[in-house]
């Protein structure tokens, strides 16, 4: 399930409402992808550097599959889109397609902000252990595809913080500009934080996980079917690192907004 793009016709200015709507749609993508990943066991050999011997490649089987996928997508112009951020950016080929003209919404330094290495580490160190059951079911290709989709969806949502920051800056430059000139990252982080909004997001994604992941039965006894994923895991995911890392991206963007 692809998330909606922010790309709009020339002259159209994005608003906080349009950005918020996109973030809500991206929640759906993330929740569905997490439900799909939870179908499979941990499948640790997929990430074991010693499991597969790949000529000319020193990483794990999953790293190989992921990097090859990004190489293919790069030839189709995926990373020309400012919403997309590769996990393996070194030596990616250029697009084979005619260049797309994306609206220049973001300030140019935005292109240099990529925190996918942090997202990668947190996904494998913190999320997978609580999302999936331990074991090996041998479904390595399907597992890799699910991991890839999860990582890309989460990355897209977190890096969308650049658009959030741009809209917030445009709405209140008098509040942000002095802090940017002072390079006060702590004050910017405080200015960007709205705890009541974050609490609402946590409740919403938990409810989505409960609804989207419910096993549908034809019983009329009034009982709910078993959930395919623990809804609290999704809420915790957003609380512990999706929203905090989004704000990290926002601050990094704002610190360079007046360059």
Q: What is the 3-state secondary structure (H, E, C) of 140-193?
A: HHHHHHHHHHHHHHHHHHHHCHHHHHHHHHHHCHHHHHHHHHCCCHHHHHHHHC
Number of domains in the chain: 1
Q: Would you say residue 162 lies in a domain?
A: yes
Residue range of the domain that includes 76:
16-255
Q: Would you say residue 4 lies in a domain?
A: no
Q: Would you say residue 174 lies in a domain?
A: yes
CA distance 30 to 33: 5
Q: Would you say residue 249 lies in a domain?
A: yes
Q: Would you say residue 102 lies in a domain?
A: yes
Q: Any residues with CB less than 8 A from the CB of 83 and at least 6 apart, and which?
A: 5, 6, 7, 156, 159, 160
Q: Would you say residue 164 lies in a domain?
A: yes
Q: Hey, what's the torsion of the CAs at 94, 100, 102, 108, to 10 degrees?
A: 30
Q: Is 135 left (phi over 0), alpha (psi -120 to 50) or beta?
A: left
Give the orientation angle of helix 140-159 with respect to helix 243-255, to 10 degrees.
50
Q: Would you say residue 96 lies in a domain?
A: yes
CA distance 206 to 89: 33
Query: Tens-digit pLDDT profile for the chain (259 aa)?
Result: 343 334 444 555 789 999 999 999 999 999 999 999 999 999 999 999 999 999 999 999 999 999 999 999 999 999 999 999 999 999 999 999 999 889 999 999 999 999 999 999 999 999 999 999 999 999 999 999 999 999 999 999 999 999 999 999 999 999 999 999 999 999 999 999 999 999 999 999 999 999 999 987 776 665 666 899 999 999 999 999 999 999 999 999 999 999 9
Supply the pTM of this predicted model: 0.92
Which CATH number do you get for residue 37? 1.10.590.10
Q: Is 183 left (phi over 0), alpha (psi -120 to 50) or beta?
A: left
Q: Would you say residue 5 lies in a domain?
A: no
């Amino acid at each position: 399930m692809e998330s909606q793009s922010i790309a709009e016709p020339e002259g159209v200015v994005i608003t906080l409402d349009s950005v918020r709507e996109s973030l809500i749609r991206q929640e759906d993508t993330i929740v569905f992808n997490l439900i799909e990943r939870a179908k499979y066991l941990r499948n640790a050999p997929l990430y074991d550097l010693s499991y597969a011997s790949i000529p000319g490649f020193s990483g794990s089987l999953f790293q190989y599959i992921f990097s090859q996928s990004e190489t293919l997508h790069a030839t189709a112009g995926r990373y020309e889109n400012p919403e997309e951020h590769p996990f393996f950016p070194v030596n990616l080929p250029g697009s084979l397609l005619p260049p797309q003209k994306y609206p220049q919404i973001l300030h140019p330094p935005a292109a240099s902000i990529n925190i996918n290495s942090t997202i990668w580490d947190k996904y494998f160190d913190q999320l997978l252990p609580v999302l999936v059951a331990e074991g090996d079911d041998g479904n390595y290709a399907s597992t890799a595809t699910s991991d890839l989709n999860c990582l890309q969806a989460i990355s897209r949502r977190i890096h969308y913080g650049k658009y959030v920051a741009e809209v917030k800056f445009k709405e209140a430059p008098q509040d942000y500009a002095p802090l940017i000139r002072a390079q006060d990252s702590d004050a910017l982080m405080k200015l960007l934080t709205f705890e009541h909004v974050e609490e609402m997001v946590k409740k919403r994604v938990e409810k989505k996980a409960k609804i989207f992941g419910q096993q549908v039965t034809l019983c009329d006894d009034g009982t709910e079917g078993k959930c395919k994923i623990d809804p609290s895991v999704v809420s915790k995911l957003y609380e512990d690192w999706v929203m905090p890392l989004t704000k990290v991206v926002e601050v990094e963007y704002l610190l360079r907004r007046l360059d």
